[in-house]
Structure formats: structure tokens, C-alpha cells
Amino acid sequence: MDIVEKIKNAGVVGAGGAGFPTHIKLSCKAAVVIANGAECEPLLRVDQTLMQMQAERIIVGLETAMAAVSAKLGVITTKSHYHEAVEALKRAIGAKKNIRLHLMKSYYPAGDEKSLIYDITGHVVPSAKLPQDVNCVVVNVATLVNIADALEDQPVVDKYLTIGGDVEKPVTVRVPIGIPAKQLLKLTGFKGSEQDYAMIIGGPCMGRIEENWNVPVTKTMSGILVFKRSHPLVVQQSIPLSKQAKLAQAVCCQCSQCTQMCPRNALGLNVQPHKVMRAASTGDARLIGDVNGLLACSGCGLCTNYACNFGLRPSAMMTAFKTKMLKAGVRPQAEKRIIPDSALALKRVPTARLVARMGLSDYDLPAPLIDNVVSPKSVTIPMQMHAGKPAETTVAVGDTVARGSLIGRIPENAIGAAVHASISGTVTKIANGCIEIKA
């Protein structure tokens, strides 16, 4: 069977974020495949752990992706201070001439796709264009492991993620997809309550507060963090947008520090959060400035978590305005000329400084891997864990399913991903876009 067909059948999607179906991403031609092992979110350790423990599988996945797009070169990007991961990758690469390592300093957001591509190829991907338009494809290292599994007809049924934050002992675990997030907290010795603590799904910079602690683990979830509700990160994130606009009106001095430190602005994409703050505080949308720049915001949160000295959240305002624009049918246009800032490298924010600024230094700890530690009695598997249309259910209540069997297929002629049972058992409920399986 064709490699891309195997990847499609296995339900592989981008494991590092948006969940774009990998079989579509690899249905193109490109000269370079970039393996993204930069893991830029503080406190998360999944990519680092995988590079350390599964370097050979990453190389298999990378070579497969390279074959799929006919790439002559594979570049694995990671941070130079991940010493054990770097050594494991070097061993796995061995004498291969077509794969090399690209080691980076620890800065945020090192894993931003556009920034990685610029570092490696010298090209900035224009708005409305894809990496393949500058002859490359970027695949997260966790996705590469899933590609290696797909070659052996093993579908995506487990997920690696870090459980950390204000816990006794952060860990990185491999768990069946669909397991409730709350069940995993006990692996860290966490004993707090939902009244006193907030759960963040994802990393501290780009993650979201989740009030439903039984939210199921998905194919794209890389972290579950808990912090006291009084932690500044939680307090700041909990302020509703309407109040944010009022705060902007009262406090934003238009210093433009958020724009000057914006990594997408430094790439020459004209992202100007201070103008969006001006528009939010005055209620005058004409002050947004370059709409294309607004749409080029990656949502990295650096403007909020590092640049602004007044505790404002320009990134939240950017996301809100961007969502409104896209809903209204505004689409990005490719820039005719992109000139990256000559001081780009100097503007990079060391992750340790960001962590300190966010009040996270005490939680920036190793999160060693503990594998196969949970066997859930029940899982709730969403049919939408990817970009595109939700998968169509292929089972009915009462059906018996084996781990790895197909329970959701891609709707005809749609962008989507297949979904598989993560445990063996009986289908007990199909509701709210999810399938519940009891062991």
C-alpha cells in the first residue's frame, strides 16, 4: 500500500498543535522535510522525551515523510541544551548523508513553523501560503513517531503528554486517547481541588483554562498543567475580553513594546498588536491597521506573557479580532515583499527569562517518562481531534471493539482523519460528537 494511504488509514494528524491531517500535508512535493523538535512551550517535555527515547522511530518517520514528498534533505530541529536527545539523535542519524541536525538556543517561540523555515531556508512563508510554497514541509517529531507506527499498520490510539505545573512530581506519560484528563493528575501526586486550582490544557503560553477536568485526552493535547487559581497566569487568563478592552482603555500607553517584541513582526509580517489594542480601547476598528498583519498573528502569547509591562493581554485581543475577521470572510493575502528585521536574532527571548517573568521558574522541572501506567476502564473519544470535518461514526452502541479498530471514518471528499478505538471494550454511548467505550 502507498505510504500516504497507510498514514491516512492510521489517522495520523499533527500532534503538536492544530491537528492538520498528515496524509494531506504529505500529498505534495518538497525539497526539505523539517522535523520540529523545538518544543517551545515552557514546562512541556514530550518532544524532548521522544527524541531521547525514540530517536530511531523519529528517523524512520522522517525518512518516510521525505520519501512521500520526494525530499532530498531532512533537518531535525531541536535545542542544543537537550543533551541526551541530541546524542540519541546523532546516534540514530549515524552516517546518513541526507539527514542533519539543526541545533538552536532556547528561546520562545523556537518551534513556530514560519520561524523554523526562515532559519533553515532563509525564506519567510507569506500569509495565505503554505510551507510547500517555499519547498518544504514541517512535521512535529511526535507526528513522525506516529508515521513510523503507521508504516506497521498501527493507528494513533495513544498520546504522549506532560502532566505538570504546581504538582509534586511532573511526569510525561503515554496514555490511551479519550482518557479523562483528571485521572492523570494523580500520577503526579497532585491532591488539590478544582475550587483551588485551574487546569490548563496545553502549555502555559498558548494553552487554555479548562473548567471540565474530565475533558478527554486528544491526539493534539501535549500537556495538562495545574496552577493555583491565585497564580498570576490564571488570574490574567480569567479576565473576560470585555474587561480586557476596558483595561486597555485605562492602561495601554501605546508604548508598542508588544509589537516590537512580536516574533511574527520580526519576520517582516507586519503584525502590530499595539494597534489592535488601540482599536479595542477606542472601539474603532479602523485603527487596527494592517488587517493582513493581524491575520498573521500566531497566537504565541509573547506580547502578553513577556512584552507588556502592564499585565494586558494583546494576544487575546489579537485572537478575538482575528476570529471575527475570518468569520466575516476576510482572508489573508500573500505579501508582495517581506523584509525580516535585521535585529531578529537579538529580539529572541530566552525561554528561562520568559519562564521567570511568568512566575513559572519553580515549576520548570524535569518530567520523566512513565510508560503504560494507566489502563482506563472507560474512554470518551471525540470524532473531531483534527482540522477539517469530524469523522463519521462507524460503530453503534452495543458493538464490541478491539483496541486499534476503526470507529470513525473520514467523510467522503472531505478533509479529516480516521479515528480508532484506544481500548478494547463495548461502545456504551455515542453523543456530543464522542464515542464512549467501556473496557
The residue among 333 and 424 lying less far from ligand SF4, judged by its C-beta, is: 333
Nearer to ligand SF4, 51 or 354 (CB): 354
* Beta pairing class for 171-176 and 392-393: unpaired
What is the distance between the alpha carbons of residues 93 and 140, in angstroms, rounded to a whole number? 17
Binding to ligand SF4 by CB under 6 A, coded x per residue (else -) over 93-132, reads: ----------------------------------------
CB of 59 to ligand SF4, least distance (A): 32
Q: Which is nearer to ligand SF4, 101 or 251 (CB)?
A: 251
Helices (H), 252-394: 257-260, 263-266, 273-282, 291-295, 302, 314-327, 344-347, 351-357
Site for ligand SF4 in 266-285 (CB under 6 A): 271, 273-274, 277
What minimum distance in Å lies between the beta carbon of 280 and ligand SF4? 9
CA–CA dist 219, 384 (Å, integer): 10
Closer by beta carbon to ligand SF4, 23 or else 278: 278
Distance of CA 314 to the CA centre of its chain: 20
Contact 264, 288 (CB under 8 A): no
Minimum CB separation from ligand SF4 for residue 383, in Å? 30
**Rounded CA gap, 300 and 39, in Å?**
13
Minimum Å gap between C-beta 115 and ligand SF4 is 10
Nearer to ligand SF4 (CB atom), residue 263 or residue 376: 263
Residue 279 CB, nearest distance to ligand SF4 (Å)? 12
Structural Rg of the chain based on CA atoms: 21
**Nearest in space to 104 (alpha carbons), one of 426, 388, 417, 351:** 351
Measured from the CB atom, the residue of 301 and 425 that comes closer to ligand SF4 is: 301
Provide, rounded to whole angstroms, the least separation between the CB of residue 141 and ligand SF4: 23
CB of 162 or CB of 259, closer to ligand SF4? 259
Task: Report angle CA 314, 315, 318 to the nearest 5 degrees.
Answer: 85
Question: Tell me, what DSSP letter sits at residue 362?
Answer: G
- Shortest spacing between CB 247 and ligand SF4, in angstroms: 9
Here the cell at position 164 is 505538570
Task: Transcribe 196-235 into DSSP letters.
Answer: TEEEEES-TTT-EEES-TTPBP-TT--EEEEEETTSHHHH
- CA–CA gap between residue 322 and residue 168 (Å, rounded): 38
Per the listing, cell 452502541 goes with: 397
Which residue, 172 or 244, is less far from ligand SF4 as judged by CB? 244
How many amino acids of this chain bind ligand SF4 (CB under 6 A)?
27
Site map 330..349 versus ligand SF4, x via CB under 6 A: --------------------
- Considering only CA atoms, which of 247, 249, 308 is closest in space to residue 273? 308
| 280-319: contacts with ligand SF4 (CB under 6 A) | 297-303, 307-308, 310, 312, 314-315, 318
Q: Give min distance, CB of 232 to ligand SF4, in A.
A: 15
CB of 310 to ligand SF4, least distance (A): 5
Residue ranges in 230-259 that form contacts with ligand SF4 under rule CB under 6 A: 252-258
Nearer to ligand SF4, 254 or 400 (CB): 254
Closest CA to 140 of 178, 112, 108: 112
Q: Which three cell numbers stand for residue 226?
A: 495545574
Side chain identity at 194, as an amino acid letter?
A: E
Smaller CB separation from ligand SF4, 33 or 252:
252
Q: What CA–CA distance (Å, rounded) separates 418 from 59?
A: 24
Task: Work out which of 6, 219, 231, 264 binds ligand SF4, going by CB under 6 A.
Answer: 264
- Residue 284: partners with Cβ closer than 8 Å, 6 or more residues away: none
CB of 76 to ligand SF4, least distance (A): 25
Q: Does 206 bind ligand SF4 (CB under 6 A)?
A: no
Cβ atoms of residues 102 and 76 within 8 Å: yes
CA distances from 334 to 69, 128, 326, 428 (A): 24, 5, 16, 48
Nearest approach, Cβ of 111 to ligand SF4 (angstroms)?
A: 13
Least distance (Å) between residue 161 CB and ligand SF4:
23
Comparison of 257 and 380: residue with beta carbon closer to ligand SF4: 257
Q: How many CB atoms within 10 Å of residue 274?
A: 22
Cβ atoms of residues 338 and 267 within 8 Å: yes
Q: Which is nearer to ligand SF4, 172 or 298 (CB)?
A: 298
Using CB under 6 A as the criterion, which residues of the chain lie in contact with ligand SF4 when the complex forms? 252-258, 262, 264, 271, 273-274, 277, 297-303, 307-308, 310, 312, 314-315, 318
